[in-house]
Structure formats: C-alpha cells, structure tokens
Structure 1
Amino acid sequence: MPEGDSLHRIAARLQPLVGHVVSASSPNPRGRVTGVAAAIDGRRLESVEAVGKHLILRFDGRVLLRSHLRMTGRWTIGPAAQTRRGSPWLVLRVGAVEAAQWNGPVLTLEARVVRTLGSDLLADATEPVALVARLRRGSSGRLLGEALQDQRLVAGIGNMWMSETLWQAGLSPWLSVESVDDGELVAALTWARDSMRAAVVDARPQRAVYRRTGRPCSRCGEAIRARGQGDENRTAYWCPGCQRGPSPVAR
C-alpha cells in the first residue's frame, strides 16, 4: 500500500496542473460511475495536497476530490498520451500534461474522512512531541505497531514505515504503547518523519526488516520475523534479537 511519502511525491508531481483549467474524463466505466470527471471537467485546479495516505485536489466552486490508493491504485503523470494502454479511472489534462489515476479504488467527491485523521507526519507544522500526546490519549492498551498505523492518531505511516521505524528505534511492534517512554516515541517519530520526507525527493532507504522474513538482521544476525497484527491483520516485521519487547511465534 502506498504510504505518506508516496502520496506527497504524487502531490508534488501534480503541481504543474495547479492554477489551470482541467479537462477531465473517465475512460474506465468504474471511474465513470463515480461522477468525478463530470463534476471537475472544465474547472480550475486550485491546489493539490497529501494528507496521510489521501490525496486531496481542490477545484474552483468548492469542489473537492479525494483519492485513496489502498493496495491497487496508482497515479501516472507525464506527456499527454496519444495512445493509452488500458483504461484509467480518471484522466486530468492540461495542455500537453496528463495525469491518470488507475485502478481506483477510492475516488470520491466526499472528503469527510479526512477530518477524522491525525496530523500528517510529513507536514511542516507537525511536531513529534505533539504526536506523542495524541498517541497517549488514543491508544490505551494497544500495541505499538498497531497504534502507529492508526491514521486517526498519526496520518501517513503504513506497515512498511512502521516496521522500519521500530527496527531503527530498537522497539518491538508487540510492545504496548504504555511501556514505551516519551523520549523513545519522539525519537521514533522523528526518524520516521525525516526519513519519509527524504524519500519524497529521493529513493527510500534500504529495508532492514520489511519483507525480509527469515533473513538475518543486519544489526544482530537474528532471523527477521513477520506476523499479522491488529484487527486488520497488517503484517509486522521485526527482529526478536535487538528490538526490545515481546516476540510472539512467527507465522
């Protein structure tokens, strides 16, 4: 699933369309039934921003479009296609520049869910210290790995960045939030914020644990483990040798 850095990278690439009247179409029938293209065609794109894992496009007339990519969606931006293979859900065109949204799955003019999100980790105004207070209030009794992926608490972190962040911090995703002190949480969130911001303009860092199940940890040599966590069974990856805390039996 694309995480916060991916959405910020897409938002940056869409900036050339901002300030222009957009021609919009929906070649894919599934995109057409959303009514999005008809609602925004011929409107001026006023802004594009990433909020956590959501992309928000604001058009004149107070029309707002929300895109959430989940596991299957993607955006492509480049020269307007003369012949396009496949059918994107949405195509936005300004002159010779075209942005296409493929495979949905969330493309809507309703953005109520964005108001329930926590602070975007990559936003300039977001401070890790303030996020720790929010985590404390909203994650009583929860596991650390699960709480960091709750978009209502911290917007932008998915299971890849959660796993990598906690390996860097030396903390097991199976620790309770209460068992981790404020300093450890601030350090972990600061590393995540700085690393995700860097990944917006450059490649992501080499993975230490994510999708490396069974391979030796580069820090201590112990085999990396993986197991589903939380109600949504998102896979947590960790090293039982050098990440403090419990380590359930791996699947």
Structure 2
Amino acid sequence: MPEGHSVHRITRQFERNFVGHVVQASSPQGRFAAGAAELDGRRMTQARAVGKQMFLGFEGDVWLRVHLGMYGAWDFAGDILMDATIASANGRMGQTNQRGTFLEGPNPDAVASEPRVFDAAGENSVTSIGAPRRTRLRMSESEKEGGGLESFPPEPVGQVRVRLLTETVCADLRGPIACEVLDPAQVEQVVAKLGPDPLLDDGDAAEDRFTAAVRRRGVPVGLLLMDQNVVAGIGNVYRAELLFRARQNPHTPGRDVPEEHVRHLWRDWAKLLRIGVETGQMMTMDDLDPEAWRAAMANRADRHWVYKREGLPCRVCGTNIALEEMGGRKLYWCPYCQA
C-alpha cells in the first residue's frame, strides 16, 4: 500500500499539472460513470493529501476523494511538468520508485543540485525536471515503468476507474478502494476522523494530539502506528522502521510507552516523511557516507534497518530480525534492540 509520502507526491503532481485547468472526466471502466459526469467540465481548484487519502477540489465545491488502498494506481501521460522536489531518476514517483533517485549524498535539502543516481537500467530521465516531456508516468506500488507515448491521449490500459484529462495531461486511476464525489462538509467529516499529518501540521498541537492518542490506549504501539485515526500516513514499512529507530518494542501498550518516546516517534515520523516526499524513497537510515547513501538510494535492501530483513542479522546487534503478524500485516523487528 502506498504510504503517506507517495500520496503527497501524487498530490503535488496534480497541483503542478491540473490545478487551474478545466478537466474532462470519464470512467472508461464504467463503474464511476455518475461521479465522472459530476466532475466533467469543471476546473480543478485544489489538490490535497491527508495521510494516505487525497482530495481533488473542483469548481462548484465538488471534491473527488481517492484512497488507493493496496492495489490502486495513478498513471500520468502527456506533457508532464515535473517539479525538482518530487522527480525521480527513472521517471516514476512515490513508493513505486524502488530503483534509485537523484541524491548524490545524505543531503535531502540539495534536491535540484546534486548529481543523479542511475538506476539498474542506466536511465536518468530526471534531466528534464521542470520542462514538459511527453512520456508515461506510473504512480502506485509495485508497478512497472511505462514507455514513450506515441499519441495523446493514450488508450486506457486495464480497468480505469476514472480518467482526468486536460489539453496536455492525462491521469488514469485504477484499483482504488475509495473513489467518490463529496461536498465540502463530507470532506471535512472524512478528514476529522484521521490522525494528524506532519506535513500539514507540524506544530505542538499535532504532536500533543498524537501523544495523547497513543498514551490513552492499551493497544500495542505497533498497532497504534498503523491506525490512521491515531496518525495519518504510516504504513507497514515506516511502522517497522520508526519502532526500530526508537528501539521500541512493538508489543508495548501505548499507555506504557514513556511520553518522551511517543514524542520522539512523532518527530521522527515528520523527518522521515519529508525525506520520502523529497526523494521518493522510504530512506530510514541515518549518518550514511556518500557512497553508502548512493547504494541505499539505488537498492532498497540497503535502505532499511529491519523491513524485509527477517532472518538476517540486525545491523546493530547481530540478532536475527524477527517476522510475525500484527494486525494482519507483517511486522519486522529486532528482539534484542527492541526488547
């Protein structure tokens, strides 16, 4: 499932390419025909992400809410304007980009100026950052790269729930768990149920809200971090990595986690989320030298402390990383460092 950084990156792509433009909306699959008819011909006015959910606003106070879930995907095609802060080395964005981005060293603030990290195919499409380029861009999880685009708009591929089209850019949505048209009051009802998102509010109030939500519950902290009502955007990868970085046992009830530890989790999530949005990678290792940073950007096996490292020695203590199921998802953790 795409985690919070991916959805924020997708939203930025809509901000750059769709906001301010009149949009033709259709449902090639047919399942969203009524909703598409409500949106068709309206100008997009806003693009908003809250955790794993995104909201696209249109003239007339009409909103499209999308939750990608496990298998949802956005495909972009056409003269795509890519922003330097969200572009990736192989022309993809978000959690899909597992083969490398464009940072030379451990300096996430130097996005536009650093030399690029080449992926396994030797591609470096990031050279056209900031300029239109006719291509096809996949934004989802576990998807293959698209090829060049010969005609525009392209024929829909697969079961396209909704197609959003301007004169120059096309966005196709497939496989979401939620795709619906809402009014402003309904949008706020959805958002009100979500926990805080550090990219939207990194102030004391959001931190206090997260801390209180964790410390009043007897539920294991490993489950609370995945509860979108507690905190928005954290998925399985960030859950495992945040808990390891805090040396926190995932089974400890939230109310038993010291307040300073909970606050550390919030601040670390804010840090990792920003890195993820800027690079497209869930980079969770700190203090890497430039060579190790490049290796991690090019290969996710070098990017994480515990995620998908079950049976391998912990990078800190040498204990084999454990794998178990928690809340229906795989949990990776070190039984020694996180005892």
Q: TM-score, normalised by structure 2?
A: 0.67
RMSD: 1.7
Q: 1:186 to 1:96 in 2, by over 3 A?
A: same
> How do residues 94-113 of structure 1 correspond to structure 2 at under 5 angstroms?
94-110=166-182, 111=187, 112-113=189-190
Is 1:179 the counterpart of 2:251? The answer is no
1:166 shift after superposition = 0.4
* TM superposition shift of 1:126: 4.5
Greater relative contact order, per chain length (Cα 8 Å cut-off, separation 6+):
2
Q: What's 1:145 paired with?
A: 222
Q: CA deviation at 1:82?
A: 3.0
CA–CA distance in 1 between the matches of 2:68 and 2:218?
Answer: 30
Structure 2 residue matching 1:98: 3-state secondary structure: strand
TM-score, normalised to structure 1's length? 0.89
- Equivalent AA in structure 1 for residue 229 of structure 2: R
**Aligned residue number for residue 238 of structure 2:** 161
Indicate whether 1:29 and 2:101 are aligned. Answer: no
- Secondary structure at the aligned position of 2:37 is classed as helix
AA at the equivalent of 2:306:
V
Structure 1, residues 116-174: CA drift from partner, whole Å, max 9, x if none?
1121232244546322123224xx21100111111111111112111110011111111
Tell whether the 8 Å contact from 1:21 to 1:43 is kept in structure 2 after alignment.
yes
- Supply the distance in 1 between the matched residues of 2:325 and 2:255 (Cα, whole angstroms): 21
1:19 — aligned with what?
20
CA distance in structure 1 between the aligned counterparts of 2:75 and 2:231, rounded to whole angstroms:
27
Paired residues, what number?
238
Q: Aligned pair 1:122/2:122, yes or no? A: no
Equivalent of 1:210 in 307, 311, 314:
307
Secondary structure at the aligned position of 1:101 is classed as strand
User: Whole-Å Cα distance in 2 between the matches of residues 126 and 6 of structure 1?
Assistant: 22
CA distance in 2, matches of 1:20, 1:77: 15
**Unpaired runs of at least 5, structure 2:** 79-151, 284-302
Give 2:7's aligned amino acid: L
Percent of aligned positions that are identical: 37
Distance 2:203 2:177 in 1: 28
The SS at the match of 1:198 is helix
The 1:115–1:178 alpha-carbon spacing in structure 2 relative to 1, beyond 3 Å, is closer
Contact 2:310 2:322 in 1 (8 A): yes
The answer (yes or no) to whether the contact 2:215–2:256 under 8 Å persists in 1 is: no
Question: Residue type of the partner of 1:134?
Answer: A
Distance 2:219 2:156 in 1: 47
Please identify, of 113-122 and 212-221, the stretch whose mean Cα deviation from structure 2 is larger: 113-122
| 1:14-62, Cα deviation, whole Å (9 max, x unpaired) | 1120011111111113333xx2211100011110011111011111111
Determine whether 1:234 maps to 2:329: yes
**C-alpha separation in 1, matches of 2:45 and 2:243:** 38
Q: Distance in 2 between matches of 1:210 and 1:121?
A: 22
Please list every run of 5 or more consecutive structure 1 residues that lacks an aligned counterpart in the other structure.
245-251
Letter of the 2:338 counterpart: Q
SS at structure 2 position matched to 1:214? coil
Secondary structure of the corresponding residue to residue 57 of structure 1? strand
Question: Aligned partners of 1:106, 1:181: CA distance in 2, in Å?
Answer: 36
